[in-house]
Amino acid sequence: MSKQEQTAISPTRTQDYPEWYQQVIKASEMAEISPVRGCMVIKPWGYGLWENIQRLLDDMFKATGVKNAYFPLFIPISFLEKEAEHVEGFAKECAVVTHHKLEKGEGGSLVPAGKLNEPLIVRPTSETIIGDAFSKWVKSYRDLPMLINQWANVVRWELRTRLFLRTSEFLWQEGHTVHSTKKEAVERTHMMLDVYRRMAEELLAIPVITGEKTEAEKFPGAETTTCIEAMMQDRKALQAGTSHFLGQNFAKASGIRFQSADEKEEFGWTTSWGVSTRLIGGLIMTHGDDNGVILPPRVATAHVVLLPILKKAAEAESVMAYTRDIADRLRQINYHGAPLRVEIDARNIGGARNWDWIKKGIPLRVEIGPKDMAVNAVFMARRDMDRKQSQSIPTERFLEEVVDILDDMQKNLFERALSFRETHTHTIDDTNAFNAFFTPDNPEKPEIHGGFVRAHWCGAKACEEGIKNRLNVTIRCIPFNEQEAAGKCIECANPSPKRVIFAKAY
């Protein structure tokens, strides 16, 4: 590979997309595999990103009246048994605690002792234990709506794991609400889905499709599941968030009753909704390139890194003073309600320093040397542009325009991702063409083929399963904004009321 073709990440996206993804996470120092199988260690650069997402999303929740609480990590197994469809949906993923202490066995090894009277499930999701609390908190219609969220970790025992996308333990938020009417609960379900849509598009710069899951793909125990679906650069879909209308199923299972205004006892109508650290994986796969991560400024761990050039000891003190002054002035600038986040990297390691920040995806890299100081300027590069497209810019102008530069980068990342999705979204009505689209000519490189397909589906479970079994393709959602237009099912040719989104998915 020539110097002009050099990339920081090997293999590249086109060579081996799954391995590229793993190498990007390693190179950006976002996370690493832990000693516990299937779990991960989120390092400061990755966790800072999650903290920013958490802070911004938490504000969006609270703007709708939601309050935070916390519930136990352990759930009695009898709680899951109350809702049959729910326990069936999660049974294979549950981690179970059966003992409460350790004793020394033969050879000094530790063995479980003190068997529990009732096994405890390590939280896979909290509908049942939060439902138990709601049954105590809700007595009257005056107590409603009950709007609660918790930020927590959950455990789902995955056999095949991938950092951020699918791990046995991950971080998330889960919202749970109770309402006095079905209408209000359905409205809340869609309200929170729109919060997720705005979060994905406005903060993460990830364009998403909103819609409803099919019966086969919905959350276990829900009446309906709504979702946001995004396209990654390998053209696969990623479910980036879900909001569930639970009807009265969990209210009946948990005994969430209230006295109505006309003094009748009724069951509540409930919802639940959640997003997780999977969003970080989605961000990487939406915006990353062959040099590493590209962080959207609205959620970036840091916005600017200042790189003082300290080649001569005699100039070092003045360059550092100039650099610190710029950092202080940048930190006084308000960017969407918070101070700009600034790093200073004074390591004397040559070109490797610049590459480190390229791989980390920091939006702006700013070099400062004696020559720049002499003309009161800085040398700036944007991460969303070619690494060679750096420019000298007067310091005062940079300070005046830095917010506009970051906003332009945010807009550019979203528009680039939206253009990619639209380019790789196709409308197909012919079954043979549909099959060919999802059967690449080179099966060893599926990343060079595929995308989203808008096609008709009659609504039959057999057709949905047939496509999934034959092509490993699922219905990602029934889009809300899809125009009603009758046609023929892509699988059986029976009448279909509207198109749905088909794709291979994570």
| Domain spans of the chain, in order of start | 3-96+126-287, 304-421, 425-503
User: Are 346 and 328 a contacting pair, CB within 8 Å?
Assistant: no
Q: Computed from CA positions of residues 232, 234, 235, 239, in that sequence, does the dihedral angle turn out positive or negative?
A: negative
- Angle formed at CA 92 by CA 75 and CA 250, multiple of 5 degrees: 50
Ranges 16-30, 75-89, 207-221: which has the least confidence: 75-89
CATH homologous superfamily of domain 425-503?
C-terminal domain of ProRS (3.30.110.30)
Banded pLDDT at 444 (limits 50, 70, 90)? low
pLDDT (0 to 100) of residue 495: 96
Per-residue pLDDT for 107 more than 90? no
As a CATH number, domain 304-421 is 3.40.50.800
- Residue 143 is given by DSSP the state G
Cβ-proximal residues to 288 (8 Å cutoff; 6+ apart), any chain: 13, 21, 24, 233, 294, 361
Q: Is 506 exposed, middle or buried (0-12, 13-18, 19+ CB in 10 A)?
A: middle
Residue type, 350: G
pLDDT (0 to 100) of residue 124: 94
- CA neighbours closer than 13 Å in the CB half-sphere of residue 181: 4
The H or E element containing residue 136 is helix 127-137
Per-residue pLDDT for 2 more than 70? no
User: What is the rounded average pLDDT of the residues 407-426?
Assistant: 97
Q: What does pTM read for this prediction? A: 0.95
User: Are 335 and 299 a contacting pair, CB within 8 Å?
Assistant: no
As a CATH number, domain 3-96+126-287 is 3.30.930.10
Question: 503 forms bridges with which residues in the sheet?
Answer: 474
Burial code (b: 16+ CB inside 10 Å, e: under 16) for 250-277 equals bbebbebebeeeeeeebbbbbbbbbbbb
Mean residue pLDDT across the chain? 94
What digits encode the pLDDT tens for the residues 346-398? 999 989 999 999 999 999 999 999 999 999 999 999 999 998 899 999 999 99
pLDDT (0 to 100) of residue 445: 53
- Angle formed at CA 192 by CA 188 and CA 195, multiple of 5 degrees: 145
The number of angstroms, rounded, from the C-alpha of 486 to the middle of its chain's C-alpha atoms is 34
Q: Identify the CA nearest to 5 among candidates 398, 322, 291.
A: 291
Per-residue pLDDT for 449 more than 70? no
User: What is the rounded average pLDDT of the residues 117-143?
Assistant: 97
Of all residues in the chain, the percent with pLDDT exceeding 70 is: 97
Query: What span, in angstroms and rounded, lies between the C-alpha atoms of 505 and 278?
Result: 13
Pairing of β 338-339 and β 334-335: antiparallel
Q: How many residues does the structure list for the chain?
A: 506
Radius of gyration of the chain (CA): 26
Question: 112 forms bridges with which residues in the sheet?
Answer: 102
- Residue 289 is given by DSSP the state B
Q: List strands edge to edge, sheet with 342-344.
A: 342-344, 304-308, 364-368, 377-382, 391-394
Per-residue pLDDT for 446 more than 60? no
The number of angstroms, rounded, from the C-alpha of 51 to the middle of its chain's C-alpha atoms is 13
Pairing of β 452-456 and β 425-427: parallel
pLDDT (0 to 100) of residue 1: 39
Q: Residue 27: phi, psi to the nearest 5? A: -65, -30
pLDDT (0 to 100) of residue 5: 65
Q: Residue 222: phi, psi to the nearest 5? A: -85, 155
User: What is the rounded average pLDDT of the residues 246-261?
Assistant: 96
Residue type, 167: T
Q: Is 430 exposed, middle or buried (0-12, 13-18, 19+ CB in 10 A)?
A: exposed
Same fold, 3-96+126-287 and 304-421: no
**Chain position carrying tokens 């944007």:** 382
Ranges 61-75, 158-172, 289-303: which has the least confidence: 158-172
The H or E element containing residue 111 is strand 110-122
